[in-house]
Amino acid sequence: MSTPEHIFVVVDPNDTRHAALERVLKTAVQHTTPPVLKIFVAVDSEAVDTRSVNDNLCRDQGWFETEIKAPIETLGFEYSIELSWTHEWQKSILKASKRFSANRIYLPVHARVPSSRFSFSESKWDLLKTAECPVVLIQPGATADRKVILVAVNVQAMADEQRALNASIIQWGKEVAGIYNADLHVVNAYLDSMNYPDRGKLARESELAADKTHVVQGYTDEVVSQVAKEINADLVIMGTLGQNGMVNSRRGNTAERVIAALDQDIMVVNH
């Protein structure tokens, strides 16, 4: 890419490790044209104890110098830092990323409680479904490599919106694979033979060889997770619909199950 990407990186000062920033710095060195970074420092009040007893909410100049500025300046990336103190964390991310003309938003995902079901608050789903660029969910403990990328589509869908989403997911997969010189795979799940995907259509739309095209019977979340493990995917790209309607109707059951089933970083493309 001749034009540098604008990457918007969310940093929560409550965290002791900044997974999204670490991932960006690890992968950005692979860009032919170095990206421009916006570091957005804000507290997720839905996930963090914001009472004064939380010492992690007091950060001095030294913290900014060592935790934020030094790692970026060591690599020589152009960057700026923005601070937000609103309790509307997700809305502030949306507004700031739009001002920055972000190409991607990197969002840290906090570690899951053992044996608990993964879940996002409605406001986080609102962020995923209304952001004007893809949101990359950075999973704790996931690999920072970008050698194998898996895109998940649904070519048997009939709605125009879903077809447009499929095309967007595949296009983003190709673009990201090109940035990192990664292998690109596509997966399409189906439940029964009456709903079997058109392999020819999938091959034409993805422009991928047969060994990188995976059509597997089963529930979408189980199939995507299974294939991601089999090919050692580092990043899974999926889509979600629903920019219309009220916030409380935006949660997508399939999208939520897929995210919950994955240990890899996930890029969510909305339409």
- pLDDT per residue over 133-180, tens digit each? 999 999 988 999 999 999 999 998 888 898 999 999 999 999 999 999
Q: Does domain 6-108 have CATH number 3.40.50.620?
A: yes
**Secondary structure E strands in the chain:** 6-11, 36-41, 78-83, 104-108, 135-138, 148-153, 183-190, 213-217, 235-240, 265-270
Mean pLDDT in the chain? 89
Choose which CATH entry (1.10.3720.10, 3.30.565.10, 3.40.50.12370, 3.40.50.1820) describes domain 148-270: 3.40.50.12370
Q: Which amino acid type is present at position 205? A: E
- Would strands 36-41 and 78-83 be described as parallel, antiparallel, or unpaired? parallel
* CA proximity to 256, closest of 268, 243, 244, 271: 268
In the chain, ranges of CATH 3.40.50.620 domains: 6-108
Predicted local confidence at residue 246, as pLDDT: 41
| Of residues 189, 157, 152, 188, the one with CA closest to residue 173 | 152
Among residues 270, 8, 271, 245, the alpha carbon closest in space to that of 128 is found at: 270
> Which helix (H) or strand (E) element contains residue 254?
helix 253-261
How many whole angstroms separate alpha carbon 76 and alpha carbon 70? 10
Q: Is the pLDDT of residue 192 over 60?
A: yes
Query: What's the whole-number mean pLDDT along residues 12-41?
Result: 93
Give the Cβ contact number of residue 253 at 10 Å: 8
| Per-position DSSP letters for 59-93, written without gaps between them | --HHHIIIIIIHHHHHHT-EEEEEE---S-HHHHH
Q: What is the pTM of this model?
A: 0.91
Starting at the edge strand found earlier in the chain, the sheet holding 265-270 runs: 78-83, 36-41, 6-11, 104-108, 135-138, 265-270, 235-240, 148-153, 183-190, 213-217
pLDDT digits 0-9 by tens, 69-93: 999 999 999 999 999 999 899 999 9
- Sequence-distant (6+) residues with CB within 8 A of 101 are 6
**CATH 3.40.50.12370, the chain: domain bounds:** 148-270
Contact 133, 254 (CB under 8 A): no
**Amino acid 141: pLDDT:** 86
Angstrom distance (rounded) from CA 67 to CA 11: 10
Confidence bin at 26 (pLDDT 50/70/90): very high
Copy the structure tokens of residue 91.
């809305």
Under DSSP, is residue 22 helix (H, G, I), strand (E, B) or coil?
A: helix
At residue 145's C-alpha, the angle toward residues 141 and 148, to 5°, is 115
Name which residue leads in pLDDT, 199 or 97.
97
- Angle CA(35)–CA(166)–CA(191) in degrees, nearest 5? 130
